[in-house]
Amino acid sequence: MTTVFIDGAHGTTGLEIVNRLEARSEFALIVLDDHERKNDGARREALNDADVAILCLPDDAARAAAAMVENDRTVIIDASSAHRTAPGWTFGFHEIFADGLGTLRSSRRISNPGCYPTGFLALIKPLIDAAIIPVSSLLTVNAVSGYSGGGKAMIAEFEASDQAATAWRTYGLNLAHKHVPEMQRHAGLTHPPIFSPSVTNTYRGMIVEVPLSAHAFAMTADHNRIAATLERAYSHTPLVNLISDYAPADLAIEHAAGSDRLDLFVFANVSTGQFRMVAALDNLGKGAAGACVQTLNLVTGYPETTGLRL
């Protein structure tokens, strides 16, 4: 039996992970009492006793927790953005790398991707690898998430009964969102993309869109080549899917809500050479807790979809 300690198990992502693991007999959860879960001594002991430690913490706290692990046995899966571009850490989105699965399975320090970068990288990385768009491309990313992505504070804000609920708002207006470095690094881009995140009044779900112009990027690819490249890139993966038979109509933010999968779409106007590449996922599923459980399955030798919602 594999012992697992979730540091930050009472947060939004932590609770989702617990929900996925509590019925699985192959894992034994190390649980701290309420008076111990903020005690560094108790946490240090739990982190070092666990076969796998999952960090569901703010960035600074995640760095401190990782430093508490004093053995070379415990596998750390970090759900924060603290280590996504850090040396010595494996980026936990194995589907976008040719050798990703083997690397992930043998790693002891794994940083799982952010929810927005998951959608962006799934769409863009295969096109860069296939030289359909150059690494010097100036890309934009438009995205919207359910409010659970903002954690307990944002959940309380949107669900407050004493004020009118916000329908939609944009943020990240300083153009320095913490997800941008991992987008640029792991896509291999020369320039950071312009990232326009927003939040809307639904609990969970996410749409990430990258618009492309064949004229702006000197692309020679048509819709069929782009779609074939994405389909080939993910043909071996059980959770990332190119949806090729989707009629161009409304695509709701709730499309993949409640699941742990990632669905990709390519919409095109052939006459104008314009494309809208879209990823739909659950910000708490493949964007957070589901991805952590997928990684946990892989590093402990279980099929990667075990306990996940397809």
Q: Catalogue the active-site residues.
A: 115
Q: Is 187 left (phi over 0), alpha (psi -120 to 50) or beta?
A: alpha
Contact indicator for 177, 258 with CB cutoff of 8 Å: no
CA 143/CA 253 separation, integer angstroms: 10
Cα–Cα distances in angstroms (integers) from residue 193 to residues 83, 112, 140, 148, 276, in the given order: 20, 20, 5, 24, 16
Contact indicator for 297, 52 with CB cutoff of 8 Å: no
- What is the pairing mode between strands 262-269 and 27-30? unpaired
CA 113/CA 97 separation, integer angstroms: 13
Rounded CA Rg of the chain: 19
